[in-house]
Amino acid sequence: MRAVVQRVNHGSVSVNGETVGEIDRGLVVLLGVGRDDCEGDAKYLAEKIANLRIFEDNQGKMNQSLRDIQGSILAVSQFTLYGDCRQGRRPSFTEAAPAEEARKLYQVFVNELVKLAVPVATGVFQEHMVVTIENDGPVTMLLESRNEAKEEKQ
């Protein structure tokens, strides 16, 4: 599972011109689900992201988590994070999970954040979305779960 995590002052997502998810201070998470991912990957990333210390403290150091600042997450599914552009000019998406499996694991990710008492807004799975991000910093992190959740896969 791959996540692009952006620290934001504001984020929103709309479908057909209608806002379906919106947050103020917090994180926008673009989440891609891979073919070999499992529930352990989704749970690992949810816990990691909720507790990632990328917000500044009073001394200006990245020392506070989303939970510390009582921020929110805007979680947007994005299968294109598994686009492979190494050959040719058109991305291959063979490493992305099939839609129904991706939907299930995306929902596990969202549910896990809710269990962690993190307010979550979402986009609409498998829809064309317009995401508006006011990046703060900018601070953008790339996270992968593949090596962290191996024991869950067996």
How far the first Cα of the chain sits from its last, in Å, is 16
- Give per-residue pLDDT as tens, 84-101: 999 999 999 999 999 999
Q: Looking at the predicted structure, is the pLDDT value of residue 151 above 90?
A: no
Within-domain flag for 33:
yes
Measure the CA–CA gap between 31 and 44, rounded to whole angstroms: 13
Percent of the chain with pLDDT over 90: 94
Is 64 known to be catalytic? no
Among 49, 101, 48, 39, smallest CA distance to 75 is for 49
CATH number at residue 66: 3.50.80.10
Within-domain flag for 151:
no
| pLDDT category of residue 154 using cuts at 50, 70 and 90 | very low
User: Exactly one of 19, 55, 59, 79 is catalytic; which is it?
Assistant: 79
- Give per-residue pLDDT as tens, 66-79: 999 999 999 999 99
User: Exactly one of 80, 93, 94, 126 is catalytic; which is it?
Assistant: 80
Is 140 known to be catalytic? no
Cβ pair 10, 23 in contact under 8 A: yes
Residues 6+ apart with CB under 8 A from 58: none
Within-domain flag for 154:
no
Range of the domain at 97: 2-145
Is 78 known to be catalytic? yes
Measure the CA–CA gap between 54 and 31, rounded to whole angstroms: 18
Within-domain flag for 59:
yes
Within-domain flag for 37:
yes
- Give per-residue pLDDT as tens, 77-136: 999 999 999 999 999 999 999 999 999 999 999 999 999 999 999 999 999 999 999 999
Cβ pair 121, 74 in contact under 8 A: yes
Measure the CA–CA gap between 114 and 148, rounded to whole angstroms: 21
* 60 class by beta-carbon count within 10 Å (0-12 exposed, 13-18 middle, 19+ buried): exposed
pTM of the model: 0.92
Q: Is the previous residue joined to 98 through a cis bond, with omega within 30 degrees of 0?
A: no
Which amino acid type is present at position 101? E
User: Exactly one of 6, 78, 109, 122 is catalytic; which is it?
Assistant: 78
Cβ pair 31, 16 in contact under 8 A: no
| pLDDT category of residue 48 using cuts at 50, 70 and 90 | very high
Within-domain flag for 140:
yes
| pLDDT category of residue 148 using cuts at 50, 70 and 90 | low
Within-domain flag for 153:
no
- Domains held by the chain: number: 1
Within-domain flag for 57:
yes
